[in-house]
Chain A
């Protein structure tokens, strides 16, 4: 019995399946636990759905950035955007409100700029990604480029070329 089990483990084809099964067991077990969010990390802002409702009522143009509306003025220490970061930085919230001219134009004509936040340059993304979490951005792209390097090397040096 044990020998048969070990023989199965020694077969490389079985390894990902066993691994995935172990993860499923742990995740199923963790579903039964009560889950609490840390309240200090939640933004003191209306919920995203409420922000979008407010945007449709045309009260304030900055609600068109929902759900990423953080308020504030760019480069103004007295009017900082509302940002909660893991690490203390004195420049917190200085560039949160900055938008490129193109993004400003998009914000003026549409309610949905906030949902396309990953695709346009602006202060919110800069502040989150490059300012308090700078090394993450570098490391993520390093992993990506390592993967590209391996893939291109394998394709360029493949055997059985035509």
Chain B
């Protein structure tokens, strides 16, 4: 019994690899058109991130930015008041800075997943992780107006899990697959277009993109500068990736 299993294992591993590489190398017309040649991918079952020159550049940006933020200290903000002869310096507590640094690194890891993943459901999950770690960066702030805005943004995050996962579910129910490599070849129809619209709305909400960033402007007034910049990077990356995804699906 054991011997048989061992021999089967080797054969099957070979089989998996061959099958997946056939799917991923021949059928990737749409992705190759948009992104350039696929340099590499991870041929596990649903763990199918792929690397193109485009996503490699994005990953390099994210890694550099996250490393810089992870080793930097929080800012000192000097405050002067009219008719007072003192300049006060404010900064965030050490404990709070440590927590925000952790959330920044988590956000960076999630962003790497967002730009490389080859599966739309995993894309939705990575975008949700980005959104919740963005909230985490702002959770420890003690200014009331910032917390109010962060609360409203948290409401948006909870609302937009419906369009994000609903769009993915519509595409899955209509095409029967979640893999971008297969979806790139399918012609689009009405249901896929509704799914794309819902995906766009969901990603706009999670990434705090353009039409809804009134809350973001309020939140960015908080002190503790370097970690807050992660939110801008996540907006940028989610925006880039959702445009690419919509083009592949269409």
- Chain A positions within 8 Å of B, measured between CB atoms, are 9-16, 18-20, 22-23, 26, 29-30, 33-38, 40-41, 77, 86-91, 131-136, 139-140, 142-143, 146-147, 149-150, 153-154, 157, 159
Contacts and interface: CB of A to CB of B under 8 A. Distances in A.
A20 B158 CA distance: 11
A38 to B, nearest CB: 4
Interface of B is mostly: helix
B44 to A, nearest CB: 8
A14 B174 CA distance: 35
Contacts of A142: 129
Given A12-B214, A143-B132, A38 B174 contact: yes
B45 A19 contact: no
Contacts of A23: 159-160, 162-163, 201
Contacts of B96: 157
Given A15-B156, A143-B132, A150-B139, A87 B45 contact: yes
Most buried by B among A36, A131, A150: A150
Nearest to B202: A23
Given A22-B201, A41-B173, A86-B46, A150 B159 contact: no
Interface in B99-151: 99, 102-103, 106, 113, 119, 121-122, 125-126, 128-129, 132-133, 135-136, 139-140, 142, 148-149
Contact of B46 (A16, A37, A133, A150): A133
Interface residues of B, number: 64
Contacts of A136: 46, 121-122, 125
A92 to B, nearest CB: 10
B236 to A, nearest CB: 20
B156 A9 contact: no
22 contacts: A9-B211, A12-B149, A19-B205, A22-B201, A23-B162, A33-B194, A34-B190, A35-B191, A36-B174, A77-B8, A88-B19, A131-B45, A132-B45, A133-B46, A134-B47, A135-B122, A136-B125, A139-B122, A143-B129, A146-B132, A146-B133, A154-B139
B20 interface: yes
Contacts of A133: 45-46, 121
Interface of B: 8, 12, 15-16, 19-20, 23, 44-48, 95-96, 99, 102-103, 106, 113, 119, 121-122, 125-126, 128-129, 132-133, 135-136, 139-140, 142, 148-149, 152-153, 155-156, 159-160, 162-163, 172-179, 190-191, 194, 197-198, 201, 205, 211-212, 214-215, 217-218
Contact of A20 (B129, B159, B211): B159
Contacts of B12: 90-91
Contacts of B175: 38
Given A90-B16, A153-B140, A134 B45 contact: yes
A15 B48 CA distance: 36
A14 B152 CA distance: 9
Contacts of B121: 133, 136
A134 B44 CA distance: 10
Nearest to A14: B214
Nearest to B150: A12
A24 to B, nearest CB: 11
Contacts of A14: 214
A149 B140 CA distance: 12
Contacts of B47: 134-135
A12 B125 contact: no
